[in-house]
Amino acid sequence: MGTVSGLGKLDRKRLSEILRETKGVISVSEASDILKISLTDAAKMLARWTNKGWLSRVRRGLYVSMPIESRTSDVTLEDPWIIAERLYFPCYIGGWSAAEYWDLTEQIFSTIIVMTKQKPRNRSQIIKGTKFLLRTVPEKAMFGIKPVWKGQVKVSVSDPTRTILDMLNALQLGGGLRSTVDMFINYMKSKNRNIELLTDYAKQLGNGAVFKRLGYLLERFASNEQTAIKTCRINLTKGYSKLDPALDANIIITRWKLWVPKSWAQNDIGKEKKID
């Protein structure tokens, strides 16, 4: 933990120029290009500013600016989404993190979910006290993404429909079955509801388990959506899937080729949440 100390006139000018051009996240190569100095000199300069407490090192060769009111370098990230965009690009913010952004949940999740084309060895990373959960997605699955502004930086986030689809594809991205279903119901009640787009996205993703889960949930909570339910039935694949692979499931819903927990089969959960 370093204490913030003063900078000379030249260093202040250089730091201001870099922050203006990089919008808060700085790499050694960017600093080198902006100031027209060598990579070695840029690396030494950024390290010096970090030791003085004006920057904080995120990982080797990448730094973030410190809040002006901070007295030490031991602080959390001001906006983890910006860091995610830089570290894991090409990527988008998804799962419960996107659901929070689109007001599909009132739950507060401390971990940031990042869907990335990268294949990191460590899928769970902690940077300056912020935890990132990474999930690799192929090029063909990089759709249904919206650009949003975080300060002066444009960051990609899954749109509401893609957010729901990703969580139906992998329920751990929604925090498990109960919270994912709650977000699904909130989506169905929201202005962003688009059932046709939801089934179109499911076709693009090409995972048969998604159609089984989606069809089951639509039949249970929105039985008036007969066109979408029929689309799900048409796209059922062979074999049986679990409603939530993380839970024990001993009841088969044969029409959806889906294993579900006994309590769900008995309609003990969610029956009061029927969507008109």
Q: 76 phi and psi, to 5 degrees? A: -85, 165
Q: Residue 7: what pLDDT?
A: 78
Q: 85 phi and psi, to 5 degrees? A: -60, -40
Q: Residue 79: what pLDDT?
A: 83
Q: Residue 78: what pLDDT?
A: 66
What are 132-145's pLDDT values in tens digits?
999 999 999 999 99
Sheet of strand 62-65, all strands in order from the earlier edge strand to the far edge:
25-27, 62-65, 55-59
Across the chain, what does the average pLDDT equal?
88
Q: Looking at the structure, tell me whether residues 38 and 157 fall in a common domain.
A: no
Q: Residue 178: what pLDDT?
A: 94
**CA–CA separation, 80 vs 87, rounded Å?**
10
Q: What ranges make up the beta strands (E) of 108-200?
A: 112-116, 124-127, 130-136, 145-150, 153-158
What are 248-270's pLDDT values in tens digits?
998 999 999 999 998 887 654 44
Q: Looking at the structure, tell me whether residues 53 and 146 fall in a common domain.
A: no
What are 28-71's pLDDT values in tens digits?
998 999 999 999 999 999 999 888 888 888 888 888 877 654 44
**Closest among 3, 176, 147 to 75, alpha carbons compared:** 3
Q: Residue 75: what pLDDT?
A: 46
- Residue 49 structural domain: 9-65
What are 176-211's pLDDT values in tens digits?
999 999 999 999 999 999 999 999 999 999 999 999
More confident residue, 266 or 221: 221
The answer on pLDDT for 231 being more than 60 is: yes
Q: Looking at the structure, tell me whether residues 108 and 162 fall in a common domain.
A: yes
Judge whether 250 lies within some domain: yes
pTM: 0.83
Reported as half-sphere exposure (CB side, CA atoms, 13 A), residue 178 has a value of 5
Is there a contact between 52 and 7 (Cβ–Cβ < 8 Å)? Answer: yes
Q: Looking at the structure, tell me whether residues 136 and 44 fall in a common domain.
A: no
Q: What ranges make up the beta strands (E) of 68-209?
A: 91-93, 112-116, 124-127, 130-136, 145-150, 153-158
Strand partners, 252: 259
**CA–CA separation, 276 vs 264, rounded Å?**
20
Q: Looking at the structure, tell me whether residues 20 and 147 fall in a common domain.
A: no
Q: Looking at the structure, tell me whether residues 13 and 110 fall in a common domain.
A: no
What are 69-122's pLDDT values in tens digits?
444 444 446 688 988 998 899 999 999 999 999 999 999 999 999 999 999 889
**CA–CA separation, 105 vs 270, rounded Å?**
16
